[in-house]
Structure 1
Amino acid sequence: MIQLLMWYNVDFPRLVLILTPTFLRKPKLTEYLKVLVLPITKLHYNWKIKRLDDWYKLNHTGQVCLLRKVLNDKLDPAQRRIYIGEGNSFPRKYIYTRAEKRPAFLGKVYIYQNNEYLSTGSDFIVHVPSEIISSSIHELNSLITFYKLASKRYKIQPI
């Protein structure tokens, strides 16, 4: 694999060796200088890992396909069983008085929970296996909250 030359790819032990004058490049001194540079090398490695994590977060948004990908990557990488469905927001049905002169027949009426109506319902439902819910519900909630749009509401439903 060809290593791309980027500004953040720094090989500090090699840089120490290159910057050391040739007449001082003895094995003991080179190893001593590499040990001195070791904390910077570890710090640089941690920075590169954090950079990759930040790029991952920036490249994934609240779109359904990308949110599903993020949840499956983090919580169910092997079987990828998490999927996202449509929300359940139903219109309210009202019973009118005779003075309003509206039809009295309502048709079929279904009884929903109070949080399932249009003004209070969820915009999307995340279908998750029950073992993932029991083991990492907090991580699931934090991932969904991080990636979803601020105005969207969700509900987690076990498969």
Structure 2
Amino acid sequence: MNNYTVLKWGKLLLWLIPPILRKKTHFDWLEAVLTPLRNIYEETLYKMQHTGQVIYLEKVLNEAFNQVAKYNPNLSIEEKREKGLIYIDESVKPTLQYLYLHKEYYEPNGTLIIPQLKVFKHDEYYENRDNQPIYLAHREDYTSVAYANFRVYIPETLIGTGDDDIVVQPQNNEFMHTEAINVATIKYHSLLNFYKLAGKSYESYSYLPKKPSDKKIEKTTDI
């Protein structure tokens, strides 16, 4: 089945040139003149084929800054981290928690119905968020702290100072409740702002790609 959106520019140009003018010099000159139009067509077609969905945002970012690794939308987050891919995850926001009374912890017969809750402070919450702690949200957490809608995770191997690398500026804030990085690469923000949904905000984070865990080989003996 032919893909009519993909044009064979060299063959198309050769067909449009009259036979009497089909000289190599004339063909090379017309091909150079046609190059800007070809670039605009391919860029526009590429943008039309991608939307603001997570899989497309990840695909665009990896094709722009991580061409060595092959992006697969079916991979889990752990597999993306092992392969060193740029991926997107949800933002961490504190949720409202209900404080139970002491008498609500136990049934009349003394049976424990709710485990003892451990409440963390603001800094401790982000340090222990992998353990799913109970965090008592304060009013300031919803008024003075701005939370992004999603997070973009970048492998540290892609961060550098080269032309093809993602450049990161040092953080100057004394208090940072997250380890967000400040990306200075204009192309990075241009891609995200073009494809992401209007009104959505994002934060960037770096991570060290994990090595695949060694699989244990079970030895079996014939009886």
Q: TM-score normalized by structure 2? A: 0.48
Secondary structure of residue in 1 paired with 2:188? helix
Structure 2 residue aligned with 1:140: 188
User: How far, CA to CA, are the matches of 2:22 and 2:87 in structure 1?
Assistant: 54
Q: 2:119 aligns with which of 88, 92, 108?
A: 108
User: How far, CA to CA, are the matches of 1:3 and 1:58 in structure 2?
Assistant: 15
1:45 deviation in Å? 3.2
- Residue type matched to 1:69 in 2? K
Map 1:59-98 to 2 at 5 A: 59-79=49-69, 80=71, 81-91=85-95
1:151 deviation in Å? 0.8
Contact 1:122/1:154 (CA < 8 Å) preserved in 2?
Answer: yes
5+ long unaligned stretches in structure 1:
21-28, 94-106
Q: Which has the higher helix share?
A: 1
- Residue type matched to 1:46 in 2? P
Query: What per-residue deviation string (whole Å, max 9, x for no partner) do you get for residues 86-145 of structure 1?
Result: 01222479xxxxxxxxxxxxx7143059xx945620111111012323332413222212
Q: Does 1:44 align with 2:34?
A: yes
- Residue type matched to 2:64 in 1? K
1:3 deviation in Å? 9.3
Q: Does 1:153 align with 2:201?
A: yes
User: How far, CA to CA, are the matches of 1:143 and 1:117 in structure 2?
Assistant: 30
Q: 2:152 aligns with which of 126, 149, 152?
A: 126
Root-mean-square deviation (CA), in Å? 3.7
After the TM superposition, which of the residue ranges 44-53 and 81-90 deviates more from structure 2?
44-53
Secondary structure of residue in 2 paired with 1:85? strand
- Residue type matched to 1:157 in 2? Y
1:83 deviation in Å? 0.8
User: How far, CA to CA, are the matches of 1:109 and 1:3 in structure 2?
Assistant: 57
5+ long unaligned stretches in structure 2:
72-84, 98-117, 127-139, 168-184, 208-223
Structure 2 residue aligned with 1:99: none
User: How far, CA to CA, are the matches of 1:63 and 1:7 in structure 2?
Assistant: 27
Structure 2 residue aligned with 1:24: none
Contact 1:91/1:117 (CA < 8 Å) preserved in 2?
Answer: no
What is the total number of aligned residue pairs between the two structures? 134
Which protein is bigger by CA-based radius of gyration? 1
Q: TM-score normalized by structure 1? A: 0.64
Secondary structure of residue in 2 paired with 1:136? coil
The 1:55–1:3 alpha-carbon spacing in structure 2 relative to 1, beyond 3 Å, is closer
Percent identity of equivalent pairs: 25
